[in-house]
Chain A
């Protein structure tokens, strides 16, 4: 070839698509796009082909057919004559229930363990380290199965609670811990209980209003009103008064042994408890690390400055450190909540009837609608995750740094 002596000519050559940085990114994007479209169309056409070869169609009609199977834990009315759609709803509510309980308990455990892990007390510190490392480094499924096995093998059966049996109820005969779950008293809503509830809700609002007023007074005039005890009084005393005035309309029904099982009260099944505890303990270990990192991320100078201003240690924590630590904590916390929610689909291992076990398990198996069912389950988890991260992002925006 000739050596190039002339300045390169203007004009487009094909190899510029690869070697010219002006066009290269464009080329890569177009190629990637084509590959993406091709693989999607291959997936779709393959699915259509295979469904056709099996003689199956794509139809969501099964959701309106009777399900035919029973579900033990139901938050809404359901029996075996209800539809598959209704069974899916029961599963969805069960998923949301365990995800909600799990996120709440995991946050409490995580915050406590995270703060205590920074403790100067050697024993507390090492104990928390052991908790965090123990739970973070063993697969969640094993924890679920272990807790479930401990609960079924290590607790008495309902028969043992009979007259002369080896087991007895605790907390003044109101709670029974059995190998089928824990039975606790259930509230009974008598006439007039609605009024008590309304009064309680109104007084809680009142308590918040009082806090707002006290805060405003503090900022405007510098006068510090007591915050904690008046709020508690406002929230509870009126409701308690009304409760007695109305003749105690809200009662408790204790579980009672009858026949094979306890009846009455609320039955917290082993499957729920095992799944809930395991999810919370496992995710709590991750949250502990996030909380610890968040607190450590706030520079020591902040504490020192607060002390120099004469703030007491607990106020330093609540007014200076935590608000700043939250900015570091909340974003990774969101992804822990999402993890917990999706991990709850391990429910099948202990027979907890979540959406994966009803719609994504029994319904699919009884109707043969794998594709439709799995798409719906996937869609549900997607929507739930988006909802959780949406709500948490609102919270994040409230705690994030506002530049003034």
Chain B
């Protein structure tokens, strides 16, 4: 009898565990909100505004997915995660997706069992120093004290860079961007290093941004993008094609201003029609409404709009499109076709 109870319990446990990791879309729909992992605060990418409303480039991706899956860009529960906790939080199901300045690397994809669903920002690692220390190149940093966030690609690149160039440094490991900023401003470290976009965003919050320079060296490739966990390809597809929809919308000239007009009736551009659901069944194939992409674009705009609103040249962050221009403009941003 004992044994039966035992095996019975095992089966129940098995079923419960199995159910917990089944279709993420069903979980999200049942819950009515999307749990989206973001950074603990990086202005322009993900940070709460004065009213506590999260905003930023990565936040926009979360809102876009919520708009696609639930039809409501506000139905997001933002979960701030440090660089160290993010993968565990995603793997354990605490969040449904991450949109958190996360670099797509081989080992994260293959060994950590993450599924990157695209790239929303092509970046690289840079160095920021106070102007008055008079350093003009990263190679002059021999013996410097360097602030780094732990659990990042940053610390691995940094170790490689200094070893290859045969110069020494003193790493100061730090948990969040806010702490790093405080240590750097107190001059407890000479240099702050992270993704160049993160440096620009951090510098924009300084009292005197002009007192700090970003050195010319970019020492790595940091393709940043949203990710989900391995094992639920349908959910991965939704996140992937939500981002692609924003990218394609920019290429096709669909904006938050004209999307409702373009979606009202079929236009003479078949790709726009398929994207906006006036032709074909793409939405149904994803398990979503036919107008899923319309919801995305009216909520957060197309890729270019989101970029300009959050981190573009007219914001305090002031990032140029550069590599992140559409492929038609000489950049790397490119969506596979909607067909």
Contacts and interface: CB of A to CB of B under 8 A. Distances in A.
A55 interface: yes
B156 interface: yes
B263 interface: no
B158 A46 contact: no
A34 interface: yes
A44 B162 CA distance: 43
Nearest to A156: B187
B150 A54 contact: no
A49 B159 contact: no
A41 B17 contact: no
B171 A70 contact: yes
Interface in A25-72: 34, 37-38, 41-42, 45-46, 49-50, 53-56, 68-72
Contacts of A79: 163
Contact of B170 (A37, A56, A261): A261
A177 B330 CA distance: 52
Nearest to B135: A260
Contacts of A119: none
Interface string A342-376: 00000011010100010001101111101000000
A261 B145 contact: yes
Contacts of A37: 6
Given A38-B5, A54-B230, A260 B190 contact: yes
B144 interface: yes
A259 B143 CA distance: 7
B151 A46 contact: no
B172 interface: yes
A70 B88 CA distance: 22
Contacts of B142: 259
B100 to A, nearest CB: 13
B23 interface: no
Contact of B145 (A53, A56, A180): A180
B130 to A, nearest CB: 10
Nearest to B11: A45
Nearest to A362: B150
A73 to B, nearest CB: 10
Interface string A366-394: 11101000000000000000000000000
A80 B159 contact: yes
A370 B88 contact: yes
B2 interface: yes
Contact of A368 (B111, B173, B174): B111
Nearest to B229: A54
A38 B186 contact: no
A269 B34 CA distance: 43
B83 interface: yes
B313 interface: no
A152 B150 contact: no
Nearest to B7: A41
B156 A366 contact: yes
A361 B21 contact: no
Contacts of A259: 142-144
Of B9, B107, B160, B169, the most chain A CB neighbours within 10 A belong to B9
A54 B113 contact: yes
A270 B57 CA distance: 36
Nearest to B143: A259
A157 interface: yes
A365 B151 contact: yes
Nearest to B151: A365
A179 B188 contact: yes
Contacts of B137: none
Nearest to B172: A351
A258 interface: yes
Contacts of A362: 84, 150-151, 155, 173
B112 to A, nearest CB: 4
B13 interface: yes
B10 interface: yes
A302 interface: no
Given A34-B2, A38-B9, A68-B159, A261 B171 contact: no
A361 B84 contact: yes
A348 B82 CA distance: 13
Contact of B171 (A56, A72, A348): A72
A299 interface: no
A157 to B, nearest CB: 4
A152 B183 CA distance: 8
A68 B151 CA distance: 11
B287 interface: no
A263 interface: yes
Contacts of B173: 72, 351, 353, 357, 362
Contacts of B336: none
Nearest to B112: A368
Nearest to B230: A55
Interface string B228-242: 011100000000000
Nearest to A349: B175
Contacts of A157: 187-188
Contact of B156 (A34, A68, A357, A361): A68
Given A70-B158, A368-B91, A370-B88, A53 B17 contact: yes
A105 B79 CA distance: 40
A260 B188 contact: no
A153 B2 contact: no
Given A56-B113, A365-B83, A69 B188 contact: no
The 5 A-B pairs with the shortest beta carbon distances in the complex, nearest first, are A365-B151, A368-B112, A80-B159, A49-B17, A157-B187
Interface of B: 2, 5-6, 9-10, 13-14, 16-18, 20-21, 83-84, 87-88, 91, 107-108, 111-113, 133, 141-145, 150-151, 155-156, 158-160, 162-163, 169-175, 183, 186-190, 229-231
Given A55-B231, A180-B170, A270-B188, 19 more contacts: A45-B13, A53-B17, A54-B229, A54-B230, A55-B113, A55-B230, A69-B159, A70-B171, A72-B172, A80-B156, A80-B159, A152-B188, A179-B187, A180-B188, A351-B150, A351-B172, A351-B174, A362-B155, A365-B84
26 contacts: A34-B5, A38-B5, A38-B9, A41-B10, A42-B9, A42-B10, A49-B14, A55-B113, A68-B159, A69-B155, A70-B169, A72-B171, A72-B172, A152-B183, A157-B187, A179-B187, A180-B172, A259-B143, A259-B144, A263-B143, A270-B188, A351-B174, A357-B150, A362-B150, A368-B112, A370-B91
